[in-house]
């Protein structure tokens, strides 16, 4: 298969490609377990019985599967077709396996790996955003408070979130004050956009993240802050990007001294105003206003979105630092992560499926 064309197809019609991949997976699973019951299959695929049923009915109409009293199986035709789809199957299985291995390696229950490398193709970030917004829609509950950080990847999540009628009461808040100059990638902007898409409200935090110690303390007494901060810190869902330590430090206009310090302490990642080394230990903390690490620990769901192999080390670091429930990343980062040294003294834990949608 000429992957150039295929990659282009994925960009033109990602939902269709995903639907196709799903269908192939269903067929794979049927082939492996045939004959298998509809309900068992649905559970294995992590979807409702009814939706699977629709799919099966269609496949049946195409003459690719047949149902008997003991369950559904592939027809000879379906089997032959699955063989012809080998290259595609390999690709899907490969990415699924990748997700599984990253999940084990980082001890993150749910890992989603999209195709490509964000460092090489900027549009990969969009696909991470799509996958991220799907996950977010999936986990959202009524009354949730979503905290979002800044960054291009989180911005992509908000961008690709489909507008929903306001059925749930959702509040979106920025995890922290403002970092960087590009407004579109600031937490405030993203929170506002996401709230609009979800039909919820947003509580913004119009302060700079790089204030003097003194100014910060003054702010903490301010009614404006005192009113908003508690809401932010009660976030139930956290969607955050992961930054490379030095890159983030420079973006924040850190002093040369600070940068030297971070280098000396081998800081690898930045998140929520904290710098972490490879082992996930906090090596430097900025005194800022916003979501703290212990707030993150209290959140119901913590979603990390980050792609590109340059982010691999940073992702691994934060995975050691605090609980991450869902990681949405790309192939570039995933492969690089697996090349990193295994963190010593940490045993593997159970993990769930990497999840289809």
Contact 145, 235 (CB under 8 A): yes
4: contact with a second copy by CB under 8 A: yes
Tokens of 23: 């269908």
Among 17, 20, 67, 89, binds DNA (CB under 7 A): 67
Among 22, 25, 29, 164, binds DNA (CB under 7 A): 164
Q: Interface residues for a second copy in 133-162 (CB under 8 A)?
A: 159-160
CA distance 346 to 328: 22
Q: Interface residues for DNA in 1-40 (CB under 7 A)?
A: 35-40
11: contact with a second copy by CB under 8 A: yes
CA distance 207 to 184: 16
Contact 177, 152 (CB under 8 A): no
C-alpha separations of 56 from 33, 39, 292 in Å: 15, 12, 47
CB 159 to a second copy: min, Å: 7
Pairing of strands 201-202, 274-276: unpaired
141: contact with DNA by CB under 7 A: no
Q: Which range of residues in 76-84, 145-153, 172-180, 336-344 is near a second copy by CB under 8 A?
A: 76-84
CB 314 to a second copy: min, Å: 26
CA angle 247, 123, 302 (to 5 degrees): 60
With CA atoms as reference, report the closest residue to 41 among 356, 325, 328: 356
Among 3, 32, 70, 94, binds DNA (CB under 7 A): 70
2: contact with a second copy by CB under 8 A: yes
CB 232 to a second copy: min, Å: 29
Q: Which range of residues in 23-31, 314-322, 325-333, 342-350 is near a second copy by CB under 8 A?
A: 23-31
Site track 80-99 with a second copy (rule: CB under 8 A), x = hit = -x--xx-xx-----------
Q: How many helices (H) and strands (E) does the chain have?
A: 16, 13
Binding at 4: pick from DNA, a second copy, none (beta carbon under 5-8 Å per type): a second copy
| Cβ-based nearer residue to DNA, 8 or 40 | 40
164: contact with a second copy by CB under 8 A: no
3-state SS, 217-264, equals HHHHHCHHHHHHHHHHHCCCEEEEECEEHHHHHHHCCCCHHHHHHHHH
CA distance 229 to 342: 37
CB 113 to DNA: min, Å: 23
Give the interface with a second copy as residue ranges (CB under 8 A).
1-2, 4-5, 7-9, 11-14, 16, 19-20, 23-24, 27, 61-64, 77, 81, 84-85, 87-88, 123, 126, 159-160
């Amino acid at each position: 298969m000429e992957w150039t064309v295929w990659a282009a197809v994925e960009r033109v019609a990602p939902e269709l490609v995903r639907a196709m991949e799903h269908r192939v997976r269903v067929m794979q699973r049927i082939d492996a377990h045939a004959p298998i019951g509809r309900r068992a299959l649905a559970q294995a695929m992590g979807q409702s019985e009814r939706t699977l049923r629709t799919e099966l009915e269609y496949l049946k109409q195409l003459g690719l599967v047949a149902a008997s009293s003991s369950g559904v199986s592939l027809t000879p035709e379906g089997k032959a077709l699955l063989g012809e789809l080998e290259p595609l199957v390999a690709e899907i299985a490969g990415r699924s396996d990748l997700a599984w291995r990253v999940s084990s390696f980082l001890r993150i229950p749910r890992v989603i790996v999209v195709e490509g490398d964000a460092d090489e193709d900027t549009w990969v970030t969009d696909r991470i955003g799509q996958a991220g917004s799907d996950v977010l829609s999936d986990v959202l509950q009524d009354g949730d408070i979503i905290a979002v950080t800044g960054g291009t990847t989180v911005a992509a999540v908000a961008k690709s979130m489909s507008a929903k009628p306001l059925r749930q009461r959702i509040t979106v808040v920025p995890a922290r004050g403002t970092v960087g100059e590009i407004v579109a990638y600031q937490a405030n902007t993203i929170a506002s956009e996401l709230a609009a898409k979800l039909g919820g409200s947003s509580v913004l935090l119009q302060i700079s993240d790089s204030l003097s110690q003194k100014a910060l303390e003054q702010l903490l007494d301010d009614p404006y802050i005192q009113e908003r901060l508690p809401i932010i810190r009660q976030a139930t869902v956290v969607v955050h990007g992961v930054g490379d330590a030095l890159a983030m430090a420079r973006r924040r206009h850190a002093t040369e001294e600070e940068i030297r310090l971070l280098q000396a302490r081998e800081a690898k990642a930045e998140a929520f105003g904290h710098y972490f080394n490879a082992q996930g230990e906090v090596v430097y903390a900025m005194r800022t206003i916003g979501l703290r690490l212990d707030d993150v620990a209290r959140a119901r769901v913590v979603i990390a979105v980050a792609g590109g192999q340059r982010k691999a080390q940073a992702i691994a670091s934060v995975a050691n630092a605090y609980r991450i429930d869902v990681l949405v990343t790309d192939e570039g980062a995933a492969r690089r992560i697996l090349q990193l040294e295994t963190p010593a003294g940490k045993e593997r834990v159970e993990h769930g499926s990497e999840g289809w949608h």
